[in-house]
Amino acid sequence: MSKPKVAFFDFTSCEGCQLSKLNLEDDLLDILELVDIVNFREAISDRGEDYEIAFIEGSLSTPHCIERIHKIRRQAKILVALGACAHIGGINAIRNKMDQDEVRETVYGKDKYLFPSIKAQAVSDVVKVDYYVPGCPMDNQEFKKVLSALLTGKIPEIPEYSVCVECKAKENECLYDYGIACMGPITRAGCGAACPSNGHYCYGCRGLVPDLNKNAAKDVMEKYKLSMSQIKKRFYMFNTNYVNMEEKEYE
Amino acid sequence: MNNLSIRVPYVTRVEGHGNIVVDLKEGKLVKSVLEIVEPPRYFEAMMKGYLYTDAAVISSRICGICAVGHQMTSVKATEAALGIPVTEQTVLLRKLLVYGATMQSHILHIFFLAAPDLFNAPSVIPLAKTHPETVKMALRMKRLSNDICDLIGGRTIHPNRVVPGGFTKLPTEKELLWIKDKLENQMVPNAKASFELLKSLADKFPAFQRETEYIGLKTDSEYAFYDGDISSTDAGIIPVEKYREVTNEFVVPHSTAKHARHKRSSYAVGALARLNNNYDKLNPLAKEVADALGMKPIVKNPYLNTVAQLVETIHVTEESLKLIDKLLTDGIKAEKPIQPEKLREGTGVGCTEVPRGILFHEYTYDNRGQIVKANCIIPTNQNAQNIDDDMKELVPWMIDNGMNKEQMTLALEMLVRAYDPCISCSVHFLDVEFKE
């Protein structure tokens, strides 16, 4: 059996997810035995256009990005979105809720009208995405699991419960008890509560848990008397495209 | 050679998207530039309104490869603006994290991005078959530097323990001992072997030279990465707060990344620029290696940035061992991050050396600790004009040396790669569409 041809494409992103794959030092050489990498700009000079599985990193934020992603979707049998930018728009989408004219003015000053751009979108906003590896950065062990599933014809699965479940299982102290607004209750698990386990608040990089109970989240905020304007900012940090918080409702 | 046109769209084995464009018409060089075509990022605008505790989380995402550097620079800017002190232990651990990240980035660049050119290979993948021991060694070195970042920063890409005022979780003494053992028994011998390898490949680097202004951090006590003043080979010492007088960013039509200039039409930052400013502070083994590779200042061959990275890899290995000894002698104290006494309006500049060169963040906060204004100046922006200026002299140099088009294309790609450009970082501002 010939090895499946795999391609990696990066869009608007920090390339951390590309690096994350290169950080699979112990497995990298084994992976190369199983797949034929035909396109991976950051690491190799070859640029093959004949691939079956396309991994996409980054959000789509220029007309050129949209053109490219359609071309890739037409070629790929399986398309997998890697990391928060591709999965949910991620940090890049923060500006979507801002006054676009002001955004441009902040960075270009008087030249603001010279540079048009579109809102930062997740890959699934534009084309069909078959599977996801969430997170910022994506977790390379989870990537390995998804890749193994694809190579053995299984369907990769990601958890549908919240980060709090994993955090409690680790017996971490709850950051809310320290007055810190943590996005754990609303965020899809699978990272092993990576940030709260290191004493840092969860910023929701894996996207919202399905069927989010928004009122319960609101109750938690109220119980701990946290500033609503700041909570809102934290909700927006990675999930701008999925959270629509009315000013009145939260203030 | 009278007419020549070289186009390298989306240069591979660099971080981000850039195109090389060279046009020679009737013997005259009409264009030789690195077009930077990365999509826009808009970080300075996106950070507005966020709390001081969020600044490093967001700015880290400017670049996954330079995340440690962005976080470090970000927390230093926040601490300067809000008057948050840090303990000696925090500084030692931050330096250790910076050194781990420097090793990681340099090893990735030397072996995975630059070395394939020296072996005439398109990537590291075929090298795994032809030079398996070298590739395995590089992977081990990279693994270890990642392990250091994991143990100190929580994880390698976008660390999750670095906050203004300190760390949210500390390494154990056992973990520090583990790092020490690995550095002594694995990194040092592997780095020596890497030195022998680069020495044997030294003739593969084009012998092109062009002097420019070299800018890096400098301090009396050590080879500066974490702290210091701005130092220029043309202008001497400049305080960090006056960074705008050095960077003078400007827009060019062929690049979504802003360019910078100081005393000349361009200046260089990065490993070579640091070495040219800090050579006398190298640790013993690093100095020995630098001398054996002919890396005495002022080194004017831009291709040797990769060699300077190896010298630095050895230097930070030695420096990390010193830090760990100090931390172990003092004992790890269970310190919590220091909170600001009172939120206040203020502006602060943070500056550190990240693998690709000197990095500045400047934030202005309101009296609720929210960002009003942010400015980030990235090494690759500072190098962009220098790369163009190099290309302008390199093309005639290559023609004089009788190189054919294929050789020239490779030499141009190698030049861009030598700077280890981080294009994602460099384009947090502009959005220009180019015809391909």
Cα–Cα distance measured from residue A6 to residue A26, given in angstroms and rounded to the nearest whole number: 20
Phi first, then psi: give them for residue B108, nearest 5 degrees: -55, -45
Among B121, B306, B115, residue whose Cα is nearest residue A46: B121
Place of tokens 């264009």: B31
pLDDT band at residue A249 under the 50/70/90 scheme: very low
- Residue ranges of B 4-23 with Cβ closer than 8 A to chain A: 10, 12-16
pLDDT tens series, chain B, 436 aa: 778 888 887 777 776 677 888 898 888 888 888 887 666 677 888 898 899 999 999 999 998 888 999 999 999 999 999 999 999 999 999 999 999 999 999 998 999 889 989 998 888 878 888 998 999 999 999 999 999 999 999 998 999 999 999 999 999 999 999 999 999 999 999 999 999 999 999 999 999 999 999 999 999 999 999 999 999 999 999 999 999 999 988 777 777 677 888 888 999 999 999 999 999 999 999 999 999 999 999 999 999 999 999 999 999 999 999 999 999 999 999 999 999 998 999 999 999 999 999 999 999 999 999 999 999 898 888 998 999 999 999 999 999 999 999 899 999 999 999 998 776 555 543 322 222 2
Residues 6+ apart with CB under 8 A from A165: A189
B335 Cβ under 8 Å from any chain A Cβ: no
Closest chain A residue by Cα to residue B370: A230
Residues in B touching A23 (Cβ below 8 Å)? 142, 146, 156-157
- Tell me what pLDDT residue B404 has: 92
Cα–Cα distance measured from residue B44 to residue B363, given in angstroms and rounded to the nearest whole number: 9
- Whether B359 contacts B352, CB under 8 Å: yes
Among B161, B433, B436, B209, residue whose Cα is nearest residue B305: B209
- Tell me what pLDDT residue B428 has: 43
Closest Cα in chain A, distance from residue B122 (Å): 5
A67 Cβ under 8 Å from any chain B Cβ: no
- Phi-psi region at B270: left, alpha or beta (left = phi > 0; alpha = psi -120 to 50): left
Residues 6+ apart with CB under 8 A from B14: A42, B113, B416, B417, B420, B421, B423
- Tell me what pLDDT residue A115 has: 57
Cα–Cα distance measured from residue B109 to residue B190, given in angstroms and rounded to the nearest whole number: 16
Residues pairing with B262 in the sheet: none
Token digits of residue B188 = 């040092």
pLDDT band at residue A1 under the 50/70/90 scheme: low
Cα–Cα distance measured from residue B256 to residue B277, given in angstroms and rounded to the nearest whole number: 29
- Strand, coil or helix: what is A135? strand
Token digits of residue A184 = 């754990």
Instruction: State the best of B66, B125, B420 to mutate against chain A, taking most chain A CBs within 10 Å.
Output: B125
Residues in B touching A45 (Cβ below 8 Å)? 12-13, 116, 122-123
Q: How confident is the model over A67-91, as pLDDT tens digits?
A: 999 999 999 999 999 999 999 999 9
Closest chain A residue by Cα to residue B431: A115
A14 Cβ under 8 Å from any chain B Cβ: yes
Q: Euclidean distance between the first and final Cα of chain B, in Å?
A: 25
H or E element that contains B246: helix B243-247
B146 Cβ under 8 Å from any chain A Cβ: yes
Would you call A107 and B67 a contact, using CB atoms and an 8 Å cutoff?
no
Among the partner-chain residues A16, A37, A111, the one whose CB lies closest to the CB of B125 is A37
Closest chain B residue by Cα to residue A101: B45
Q: How far is CA B275 from CA B84, B141, B228, in A?
A: 31, 22, 15
Instruction: State the best of A8, A9, A10, A15 to mutate against chain B, taking most chain B CBs within 10 Å.
Output: A15
Place of tokens 């006494």: B341
Residues in A touching B10 (Cβ below 8 Å)? 41, 47
Residues pairing with A6 in the sheet: A37, A53
- Pairing verdict, β A5-10 and A36-40: parallel
In total, the C-beta contacts within 8 angstroms joining chain A to chain B are 170
Number of H helices, E strands in chain B: 16, 12
- Residue ranges of B 93-112 with Cβ closer than 8 A to chain A: 108, 112
Q: Where are the alpha helices (DSSP H) in A13-75?
A: 16-22, 25-34, 63-75
Would you call B155 and A194 a contact, using CB atoms and an 8 Å cutoff?
yes
Instruction: State the best of B160, B169, B372 to mutate against chain A, taking most chain A CBs within 10 Å.
Output: B160
Place of tokens 């398996």: B132
Assembly ipTM: 0.89
Cα–Cα distance measured from residue B431 to residue B38, given in angstroms and rounded to the nearest whole number: 8
Q: Residue A107: is its pLDDT beyond 70?
A: no
Among B296, B45, B85, B413, residue whose Cα is nearest residue A91: B45
- Whether B7 contacts B408, CB under 8 Å: no
- Phi-psi region at B26: left, alpha or beta (left = phi > 0; alpha = psi -120 to 50): left
DSSP state of B312: H
Cα–Cα distance measured from residue B313 to residue B307, given in angstroms and rounded to the nearest whole number: 10
Among the partner-chain residues A11, A42, A95, the one whose CB lies closest to the CB of B13 is A42
Phi first, then psi: give them for residue A202, nearest 5 degrees: -75, 135
Residues 6+ apart with CB under 8 A from B45: A95, A98, A102, A103, A104, A106, A107
- Tell me what pLDDT residue B128 has: 84
B42 Cβ under 8 Å from any chain A Cβ: yes
Residues in A touching B61 (Cβ below 8 Å)? 14, 16, 90-91, 136
Cα–Cα distance measured from residue B306 to residue B354, given in angstroms and rounded to the nearest whole number: 15
- Strand, coil or helix: what is A89? coil
DSSP state of B377: E
Closest Cα in chain B, distance from residue A26 (Å): 8
- Tell me what pLDDT residue B435 has: 29
Would you call A117 and B51 a contact, using CB atoms and an 8 Å cutoff?
no
Residues in A touching B123 (Cβ below 8 Å)? 43-46
Supply angle C-alpha B131, A3, A136, rounded to 5: 80
Would you call B58 and A63 a contact, using CB atoms and an 8 Å cutoff?
no
Among B290, B278, B270, B253, residue whose Cα is nearest residue B383: B270
Cα–Cα distance measured from residue A80 to residue A12, given in angstroms and rounded to the nearest whole number: 16
Q: Euclidean distance between the first and final Cα of chain A, in Å?
A: 61
Would you call A15 and B64 a contact, using CB atoms and an 8 Å cutoff?
yes
Instruction: State the best of A6, A11, A22, A23 to mutate against chain B, taking most chain B CBs within 10 Å.
Output: A23
A199 Cβ under 8 Å from any chain B Cβ: yes
B130 Cβ under 8 Å from any chain A Cβ: no
pLDDT band at residue A127 under the 50/70/90 scheme: very high
B168 Cβ under 8 Å from any chain A Cβ: yes
Q: How far is CA A8 from CA A82, A134, A135, B201, in A?
A: 10, 16, 17, 31
CB atoms < 10 A from the CB of A4, how many? Answer: 16
- Tell me what pLDDT residue A245 has: 60
Number of H helices, E strands in chain A: 10, 5
Would you call B46 and A32 a contact, using CB atoms and an 8 Å cutoff?
no
- Tell me what pLDDT residue A178 has: 87
Residues in B touching A32 (Cβ below 8 Å)? 125, 128
Among the partner-chain residues A98, A104, A200, the one whose CB lies closest to the CB of B161 is A200
B123 Cβ under 8 Å from any chain A Cβ: yes
